Amino acid sequence: MVVTNNINLYACYKIEDVRDNATSEEYFDFITIDSDKLGISLKPEYRDILEGKITLPSYHNSLPITHIGNENAGSTYGFANTTKITHIFFMGDAQYTTVGVNAFKESSVEKVDLPNTIIRIRNSAF
């Protein structure tokens, strides 16, 4: 038999918000929309590799990212045809305004937590 004194155990943990840390920029292509705005798309080689929850950055090279994919059909498709990404979040200071044509077409994405700055969702975005 083991005899012990009363022991108090304490746990300490840090709550992190998915909007606190962006997924590495190495996975993304950045598209020039205007001289002062960018679009973002997943690089084709990561469509079947990157998985789970991802958080999109707000800026790239000091320029705001305002578009997911591009506004025009036949151009870069954002996150279309991804097979393992399930959730997409945005950094807390996101300035995204547009979800491009076919941005999430035929993707595995179950949830996109769009920022309240979105003003345009193009045809066939989802």
| pLDDT tens for each residue of 7-59 | 666 666 666 666 668 899 999 999 898 889 999 999 999 999 999 999 999 99
What separation in angstroms does the CA of 30 have from each of 5, 26, 111?
60, 10, 22
Count of CB atoms situated within 10 Å of the CB of 9: 4
Q: Output the pLDDT for position 57.
A: 96
C-alpha span between 115 and 6 (Å, rounded): 49
Is residue 3 predicted with pLDDT exceeding 60? no
Using a pLDDT cut of 70, give the percent of the chain over it: 79
Judge contact between 89 and 115, C-beta under 8 A: no
Q: What is the pTM of this model?
A: 0.81
Using DSSP, state whether 9 is helix, strand or coil: coil
Q: Between these two residues, 16 and 95, which has the higher pLDDT value?
A: 95
